[in-house]
Structure 1
Amino acid sequence: MTWDDFRLAFLDWSIVVQAWPILQSGLIQTLLLSAMTVPLGILGGMIFAVLSRSQNPWIRLPAGAWVDVFRALPPLVLLIFLYAGLPFAGLDLGPWGAVALGFFLNTGAYYAEILRAGLESVPRGQAEAARALGMRPLPIFFLVVLPQAVRNVLPDLVSNTLEVVKLTSIASVVALPELLFQARQAQSVTYNATPIVAAAVAYFILLWPVVRLLSRLENQRIAGRR
């Protein structure tokens, strides 16, 4: 294959111009999907991180089992089950519903484990000191314990968020028109691989600042241990 053949097959940006309306709609869907799944995952993670630290075994053990199950279950399998399996039981979530629930269950389990480690890293004396000052349990948790816990595991939270955004690309298997799905549609119309390359470039531009932020946080954590 000559350079011209390679360029026309993979780097023909005139194809990108033609397919841009399709790619743009996919990019918007990816941004919306990320804006939905990250908060859902953090919310689920926070709930189950707290439940998994309960003194009551009837709460702690089911919460820990939930985290283990959905960390072990491949997200693609879970997504296909929710989208294509539940309708047989009379529950049709649709693409957005299946993705929202699937990502809540899967990513929430990973966030839960990270946040649980963060909560356990905060010395008990912090909460006891706040209690001695007359603070109530909820303010103690949200104003004293949680900020310290998040700071202690911030690089891990950012790293997991990066993975969640990349994971949104599997939404294409349930025909949700995110960036990869639309790039494949454009490829099928133009008979050219350039839209797929354009989608890869868009993911890089979207995620590269997060990668740099993660590197800085990791360097700060390493420097703090010295």
Structure 2
Amino acid sequence: MQRFLETFFNHDVMVRYLPDIVAGVWVALWIGLMVVVAGVAMGLALACLRTCRIRICNVFIIAFADIFRALPPLVLILILYFGLPGAGIRLSGPMVLFIVLSLTLAAFAEEIFWAGFLSVEKGQWEAGLSTGLGFGGTLLHIALPQAVRLALPPLVNRVLAITKMTALGSVIGVSEVLSAATTAQSFSGSATPLSLAAIAYLIIFLPLVWAARWFERRHERRRRT
């Protein structure tokens, strides 16, 4: 037991490298927050545009969603970070991570919101149009609130999955939690920084896991009543 604690929870190593891990937590939180805001907003906007049934727009939206849901984010990160400089375009590590994760989340969010729109009964669209609201008013006041409510449980789960991918920033030198921990581990020769990183990820994401479970249970109760 003593050897285990010395390996994974060495007090001296914790004191020395905890500030670096905390700094990495703030980087991960900041990038994650920006990814969630941009990705969800973009996904919702694309889903709303898709309801307009403009054929050429829908082709591009579906292609975008399919491509970014199919490609592993790590591949996109490596292409943008290491490939674009060959074309004369240089982006910082945090910017690459933000762009890739935002577009990935937007692709999944668009499909989730679109499924929510499809769940709205056709009669409700027709009722809104018949009252003079017009397509935009019907979308905004009738379809959108229902679609968002239906989309929340799966959307929270997807947000959780995408934001955890901020750890991929470690491969391109973004100073987030995992990057700080692996650097500290290489200098200290101890697994303690990695244990600190695991604890940091629990602190960040465990509340989101609980929120996702709460949304699922609440949605299930509403569906039964």
Report the TM-score, using the length of structure 1 for normalisation. 0.91
In the alignment, the residues of structure 1 paired with residue 159 and residue 76 of structure 2 have an alpha-carbon distance, to the nearest angstrom, of 19
Aligned counterpart in structure 1 of residue 22 of structure 2, from 18, 21, 24 = 24
* Counterpart residue number, 2:37: 39
In the alignment, the residues of structure 1 paired with residue 197 and residue 140 of structure 2 have an alpha-carbon distance, to the nearest angstrom, of 39
1:163 to 2:161 alignment = yes
- Any conservation in 2 of the 1:187–1:194 contact (CA below 8 Å)? yes
Deviations 1:133-167 (A, max 9, x none): 33354343233221210111211011011112211
- Any conservation in 1 of the 2:18–2:196 contact (CA below 8 Å)? no
* Counterpart residue number, 1:58: 56
Greater alpha carbon shift after TM alignment, 44-53 vs 208-217 = 44-53
1:103 Cα deviation after fit: 1.4
Matched-pair identity in %: 35
* Counterpart residue number, 2:145: 147
Unaligned runs of at least 5 residues, structure 1: none
1:73 Cα deviation after fit: 0.3
In the alignment, the residues of structure 1 paired with residue 209 and residue 131 of structure 2 have an alpha-carbon distance, to the nearest angstrom, of 41
- Any conservation in 2 of the 1:49–1:115 contact (CA below 8 Å)? yes
In the alignment, the residues of structure 1 paired with residue 180 and residue 206 of structure 2 have an alpha-carbon distance, to the nearest angstrom, of 21
Q: SS of 1:153's equivalent? A: helix
1:220 Cα deviation after fit: 2.6
1:108 Cα deviation after fit: 1.1
1:14 Cα deviation after fit: 3.2
Alignment of 1:34-183 (within 5 A): 34-183=32-181
1:86 Cα deviation after fit: 0.8
Alignment of 1:178-197 (within 5 A): 178-197=176-195
Aligned counterpart in structure 2 of residue 203 of structure 1, from 201, 204, 211 = 201
Instruction: Say if 1:109 and 1:189 are closer, same or farther in 2 by CA, change over 3 A.
Output: same
Equivalent residue letter for 1:154: L
1:54 Cα deviation after fit: 4.0
1:222 Cα deviation after fit: 2.9
Q: SS of 2:174's equivalent? A: coil
Deviations 1:164-222 (A, max 9, x none): 22111111111111111111122122211111111111111211121112112222333
Q: SS of 2:47's equivalent? A: helix
- How well do the aligned residues superpose, as a CA RMSD in angstroms? 1.7
Q: SS of 1:176's equivalent? A: coil
- Any conservation in 2 of the 1:37–1:104 contact (CA below 8 Å)? yes
Aligned length: 224
Unaligned runs of at least 5 residues, structure 2: none
In the alignment, the residues of structure 2 paired with residue 54 and residue 93 of structure 1 have an alpha-carbon distance, to the nearest angstrom, of 35
In the alignment, the residues of structure 1 paired with residue 73 and residue 14 of structure 2 have an alpha-carbon distance, to the nearest angstrom, of 31
Greater alpha carbon shift after TM alignment, 28-37 vs 130-139 = 130-139
Q: SS of 2:190's equivalent? A: coil
Greater alpha carbon shift after TM alignment, 25-34 vs 59-68 = 59-68
Equivalent residue letter for 2:41: L
In the alignment, the residues of structure 2 paired with residue 51 and residue 174 of structure 1 have an alpha-carbon distance, to the nearest angstrom, of 34
Deviations 1:81-111 (A, max 9, x none): 0111111111111212211221122121111
- Any conservation in 2 of the 1:48–1:67 contact (CA below 8 Å)? no
In the alignment, the residues of structure 2 paired with residue 139 and residue 190 of structure 1 have an alpha-carbon distance, to the nearest angstrom, of 61
